[in-house]
Amino acid sequence: MSDIAIKDIIKPENLVYEKTDLMTDKTLSYCPGCGHGTAHRLMMEVVGDLGQENETVGVAPVGCSVLAYEFMNVDMQEAAHGRAPAVATAIKRLWPNKLVFTYQGDGDLAAIGTAETIHACNRGEQIVIVFINNGIYGMTGGQMAPTTLPQMKTSTSPYGRDVATMGNPLKITELVAQLPGTYYVTRHSVHTPAAARKAKRAIKKAFQNQLDGKPGLSFIEIVSNCNSGWKMEPVQSNIWMEENMFPYYKLGDIKVDGKLL
Amino acid sequence: MGELRLMKGNEALAEAAIRAGTDGYFGYPITPQSEVIEYLMAEKPHERTGMVVLQAESEVASINMLYGGGGTGKKVMTSSSSPGISLMQEGLSYMAGAEIPCIVANIVRGGPGLGDIQPAQSDYFQSVKGGGHGDYRLPVLAPASVQEMSDFVPVAYDLAFKYRTPVLIVSDGLIGQMMEKVELFDQMPRLTDKEINEKYPWGTNGKPAGQERRVLTSLDLDPHKLEKHNFKLQDKYRTIEANEVQYELIDCDDADYIIVAYGSSARISQKAIQLAREEGIKVGILRPITLWPFPKKAIDELVIKGVKGFLSVEMSAGQMVEDVKLTVRERTKVEHFGRYGGVIHSPEEVLEALKSKIIGG
């Protein structure tokens, strides 16, 4: 392709996509193929679309997305493992007009932070929780998560998750949906353009709920892949996710406007 | 003169929290300090000053609520007793690392473990040596009266925001539960959001238009950067040690012997030195008000003056005595006396220990 042809292509009228300023220029620390980067971007696009960049406080977890605050270009706090809902509770109670969210993985939200998650939901804190469920501990090198599927092999379940001794995968999203304090509970994925667009609409609805002062917490689970932890090629991991994760963690709305579907 | 009231120590602490302009109190009930949150809930501080009071699901949640709230530049506070304070050590370490101000009051009870609900001073090590993981120290104020339970709240906030650090108020079940006359200070206004942003530009409450975002974290995966951050923290601790020591000297001018005691032990020791002086024994009290930074210089001066012995009187098996020994460095005698596990020593026992361990020993 000649230089002239490139110049002809790079014109403002041809722009179809632009990175939001609310993502920093720092190179993502995630493995190629991982869904975290997409989830970050969707959230920051929503914050920008809603004009809330100066009114937003995010809380990052411990896990692969421990460095989320390096990529999300809004005010951020880094919480201890599992404690983000407690941290976000106080921020929102003390600054009720701010948009407050947590971003948490499965170990953070559904294992060590179960109490903080359940009670923030139960109190109906007006925050948004974005929960990334990839069924494994990525950061520490692929150990079993509360959401690891039965018979799934991880470094701490090397012969597969034996549900008789290791428990069953925890559907914490269905669990929090039962609490009167949650207003919107939904499950999505970001592994295809169509899925990402749907997830973005859900994120927007959740943040809009908070801005509108809707009574309760908005909770979005994103079922995601962990190609490194699952020891698969990225494309293969997405197929595996569709075939194995989605039947157990069914995508779609679970509770809308405070009503269970 | 301020308003006079007869109050429990725990109630005085709670009332002082409202009057000091606290924005948020987050706590979990535990004996012998549950009156703090009970008083606050009954008092409806939201109507008085706009202060938020929330009962958390655990002490782990309480301390992390302080992390979140303190991290936005608001004045936040919690209180608990020993087992609950152990649960907060994780959060305190993170707050020391991320340099987030707050007040944590510990109404100490007997331990270890669940222990009992009677007064003790056996959380000294945990309070003054760091408590959680990593290299850090926290300023520790030790009230010896219901009056000081009130007075130390604004003092603690000043330290917390001046140095961006959690500050501990370490009291015990005796001072928390007993009633005394207290002169309350006048209501201080809560800061407006605008004032907070002017005073504390590090507060993460929504990045100001046209400015860089703020991030609060205790993480740095680059060891050289983390070491640099630790150097900064250590410099801060040296500054606190140089500038923030507080102590009280009682009858030390002519004293041959010194009792080192804080909190309830200092109160009991006051009666003991009165009994001693009736017998012609010249003994004074050095009362550390800040347990960290420890009043090393004051002890050193007493050693140089020729004091013949120090008795560290604590409701513990001997914790503060180690800091007294570190300061005295074997130039004169240092011993410990204390009852513990929730048992309180009598003035007579203190006098007897002074005679047997220091004078006759």
Is B41 within the bounds of a domain? yes
Q: Are residues B254 and B181 in the same domain?
A: no
Q: Are residues B175 and B283 in the same domain?
A: no
- Domains of chain A plus CATH, in order, are 33-137+146-260 (3.40.50.970)
Asked if the Cβ–Cβ distance from A116 to B61 is below 8 Å, we say yes
At A2 the pLDDT is 57
Is beta strand B290-292 parallel, antiparallel or unpaired with respect to B140-141?
antiparallel
At B1 the pLDDT is 82
**Which of B207, B212, B221, B229 should be substituted to probe chain A, the one whose Cβ sees the most A Cβ atoms within 10 Å?**
B207
Question: Of B125, B160, B194, which residue is a domain's last?
Answer: B194
Indicate the average pLDDT of chain A.
Answer: 96
Q: Does B179 touch chain A (CB under 8 A)?
A: no
Is B221 within the bounds of a domain? no
Q: Tell whether the model's pLDDT for residue A259 goes beyond 90.
A: yes
At A5 the pLDDT is 81
Q: Checking phi first, is residue B220 left (phi over 0); if not, alpha (psi -120 to 50) or beta?
A: beta
Q: Are residues B257 and B165 in the same domain?
A: no
CATH number at residue B325: 3.40.50.920
Residue B291, phi then psi, degrees to nearest 5: -80, -35
Is the reported ipTM for this assembly greater than 0.85?
yes
Helix ranges (H only) for A31-151 are 36-49, 68-71, 84-94, 106-107, 114-122
- Percentage of chain A lying above the pLDDT 70 cut: 99
Q: Tell whether the model's pLDDT for residue A31 goes beyond 70.
A: yes
Is B45 within the bounds of a domain? yes
Q: Are residues B282 and B168 in the same domain?
A: no
pLDDT tens digits along A193-229: 999 999 999 999 999 999 999 999 999 999 999 999 9
Residues facing A244 on adjacent strands: none
Q: Are residues B272 and B139 in the same domain?
A: no
For residue A176, the one-letter residue type is: V
CA distance B46 to B53: 8
Is B317 within the bounds of a domain? yes
Is B111 within the bounds of a domain? yes
Is B201 within the bounds of a domain? no
CATH number at residue B95: 3.40.50.970
Is B234 within the bounds of a domain? no
Domain count for chain B, please give it: 2
Distance of CA B225 to the CA centre of its chain: 31
Q: Are residues B135 and B259 in the same domain?
A: no
| DSSP assignment string, B15-46 | HHHHHTT-SEEEE---TTSTHHHHHHHHH-HH
What are the chain A neighbours of B68 within 8 Å (beta carbons)? 59, 77, 79, 86-91
Q: Is B140 within 8 Å of B263 (Cβ atoms)?
A: no
Q: Are residues B32 and B179 in the same domain?
A: yes
pLDDT tens digits along B59-111: 999 999 999 999 999 999 999 999 999 999 999 999 999 999 999 999 999 99
CA distance A54 to A69: 15
pLDDT averaged per 10 residues, chain B (length 361): 96 98 98 98 98 98 98 98 98 98 98 97 98 98 98 98 98 98 98 97 96 96 97 98 98 98 98 98 98 98 98 98 98 97 98 96 66
Q: Does B76 touch chain A (CB under 8 A)?
A: yes
Q: Which residues, numbered 27 to 66 in chain B, qualify as contacts with chain A under a Cβ-Cβ cut-off of 8 Å?
A: 52, 54, 56-58, 60-62, 64-66
The partner residue sitting opposite A75, judged by closest CB among B62, B67, B207, is: B207
Q: Are residues B27 and B169 in the same domain?
A: yes
The partner residue sitting opposite A57, judged by closest CB among B23, B76, B206, is: B206
Supply the range of the domain harboring residue B149: 3-194
Q: Are residues B169 and B306 in the same domain?
A: no
CA distances from B290 to A44, B121, B131, B159, B287 (A): 46, 14, 16, 11, 9
Q: Give the closest-approach CA distance of A209 to chain B in angstroms.
A: 19
Q: Are residues B182 and B268 in the same domain?
A: no
* 3-class secondary structure, B129: coil
pLDDT band (50, 70, 90) for residue A3: low
- Percentage of chain A lying above the pLDDT 90 cut: 93
At A26 the pLDDT is 96
At A7 the pLDDT is 81
pLDDT tens digits along A77-119: 999 999 999 999 999 999 999 999 999 999 999 999 999 999 9
Q: Give the closest-approach CA distance of B30 to chain A in angstroms.
A: 18
Q: Is A258 exposed, middle or buried (0-12, 13-18, 19+ CB in 10 A)?
A: middle
At A16 the pLDDT is 86
Q: Are residues B154 and B254 in the same domain?
A: no
CA distance B270 to B347: 8
Is B110 within the bounds of a domain? yes
A223's tokens: 């079922």
Q: Is B2 exposed, middle or buried (0-12, 13-18, 19+ CB in 10 A)?
A: exposed
Q: Are residues B188 and B48 in the same domain?
A: yes
The partner residue sitting opposite B64, judged by closest CB among A56, A60, A86, is: A86
pLDDT tens digits along B309-358: 999 999 999 999 999 999 999 999 999 999 999 999 999 999 999 999 99
Give the sign of the dihedral formed by CA B55, CA B56, CA B58, CA B63: negative
Question: Of B162, B194, B226, which residue is a domain's last?
Answer: B194
Question: Of B170, B194, B218, which residue is a domain's last?
Answer: B194
